Structure 1
Amino acid sequence: MSSSEPRPSSADAEGPRGEGGEGGLQAFSSFPPIWREDARVLVLGSMPSVRSAELGQYYGHRQNLFWPMMGEVLGFDPALPYLERAECLRRSRIALWDVARVCLRNKSSDASMRAVEPNDLAGLLRASPCLDRILFNGAKAEELFRRLVLPGLVWPKGPLSMRRLPSTSPAFAAMRREQKIALWREALA
Structure 2
Amino acid sequence: MSRISSLPPIVDNSSKILILGSVPGVKSLQMQQYYAHPQNNFWKLMFHLLDTEFSSDYHTRLQLLKKHRIALWDVIESCERKGSKDTDIKSEIDNDIQELINSHPNIKIIFCNGQKSYKNLLKVVGKNFIIPIVVLPSTSPLHTIKFEEKLEQWKIIKDYL
- Scaled by the length of structure 1, the TM-score of the pair is 0.79
Over alpha carbons, which structure has the higher Rg? Answer: 1
Choose from 77, 92, 97 the match for 1:101. Answer: 77
Instruction: State whether structure 2 residue 159 is matched by structure 1 residue 184.
Output: no
The equivalences for 1:122-137 within 5 A come to 122-137=98-113
How far residue 154 of structure 1 moved from its aligned partner, in angstroms, is 7.1
Q: Which 4+ runs in 1 deviate beyond 3 A?
A: none
The equivalences for 1:80-159 within 5 A come to 80-147=56-123, 149-151=124-126, 155=130
| Partner SS state of residue 124, structure 1 | helix
Which amino acid in the other structure matches residue 150 of structure 1?
V
How far residue 104 of structure 1 moved from its aligned partner, in angstroms, is 0.5
How far residue 55 of structure 1 moved from its aligned partner, in angstroms, is 1.2
Instruction: State whether structure 2 residue 139 is matched by structure 1 residue 163.
Output: no
Which has the larger displacement, 62-71 or 110-119? 110-119
Structure 1, gaps ≥5 residues long: 1-20
Contact 1:38/1:129 (<8 A) preserved: no
1:17: which partner in 2? none
Q: Provide the aligned length of Structure 1 versus Structure 2.
A: 158
How far residue 188 of structure 1 moved from its aligned partner, in angstroms, is 3.3
Distance 1:136 1:154, change over 3 A: closer
Choose from 44, 52, 67 the match for 2:20. Answer: 44
Superposed CA offset, 1:156-182 (max 9, x none): xxxx11111000000000x21111101
Structure 2, gaps ≥5 residues long: none
Distance 1:172 1:154, change over 3 A: closer
| Partner SS state of residue 48, structure 1 | coil
Q: In the aligned structure 1, how far is the partner of 2:143 from the partner of 2:77?
A: 23
Q: In the aligned structure 2, how far is the partner of 1:65 from the partner of 1:185?
A: 14
| Partner SS state of residue 102, structure 1 | strand
User: Over the residues paired in the alignment, what is the CA RMSD in angstroms?
Assistant: 1.5
Identical aligned residues as a percent: 34
How far residue 75 of structure 1 moved from its aligned partner, in angstroms, is 2.3
- Scaled by the length of structure 2, the TM-score of the pair is 0.92
